């Protein structure tokens, strides 16, 4: 599994080795992989869990990142699973990627402040 090292920001590859538990693998970096078929869960040493789902094209995509402090980021994909459509956090804030013929055309952010729903869109030049 490719990852970015926190220490020097370089690309590293993480190898998992099967443990004695069914469908559970460990890496020397301290990551645990639980293989549940179409769902793969990777747990980091700090308790953060990365949930990967298999999409119709056969590829795995990160669907959620959950921290122990009940903080969650949900990653939303287009119906075909090919494009990231948006991100929603556990506080209800969202970021939506608006696509056009040449990729992302704008980003729309929504959030609540002072009991009022707010929206802002940024165009990509």
Return the pLDDT at 87: 96
Do 18 and 59 fall into the same domain? Answer: yes
Do 86 and 47 fall into the same domain? Answer: yes
Residue-wise pLDDT tens digits, 14-56 = 899 999 888 999 999 889 999 999 999 999 988 999 999 998 8
Do 86 and 96 fall into the same domain? Answer: no
Return the pLDDT at 1: 75
Do 46 and 99 fall into the same domain? Answer: no
Do 9 and 50 fall into the same domain? Answer: yes
C-alpha distance from residue 94 to each of 73, 88, 98, 110, 117 (Å): 9, 4, 13, 5, 11
CA 12 remoteness from chain centre: 18
pLDDT band at 4 (very low <50, low <70, confident <90, very high): confident
Do 84 and 64 fall into the same domain? Answer: yes
Q: Which domain holds residue 118?
A: 92-125
Do 118 and 62 fall into the same domain? Answer: no
Residue-wise pLDDT tens digits, 83-125 = 899 999 998 899 999 998 888 999 999 998 888 999 999 998 7
Domain count, the chain: 2
Residue-wise pLDDT tens digits, 53-76 = 998 888 899 999 999 888 999 999
Do 62 and 72 fall into the same domain? Answer: yes
């Amino acid at each position: 599994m490719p990852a970015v090292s926190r220490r020097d920001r370089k690309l590293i590859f993480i190898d998992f080795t099967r443990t004695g538990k069914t469908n559970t693998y460990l890496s020397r970096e301290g990551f645990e992989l639980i293989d549940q078929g179409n769902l793969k869960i990777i747990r980091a040493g700090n308790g953060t869990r990365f949930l990967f789902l298999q999409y119709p094209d056969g590829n795995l995509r990160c669907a959620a990142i959950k921290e122990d402090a009940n903080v969650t980021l949900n990653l939303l994909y287009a119906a075909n699973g090919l494009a990231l459509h948006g991100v929603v956090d556990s506080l209800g804030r969202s970021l939506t990627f608006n696509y056009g013929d040449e990729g992302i055309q704008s980003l729309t952010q929504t959030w609540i402040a002072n009991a009022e729903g707010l929206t802002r869109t940024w165009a990509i030049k």
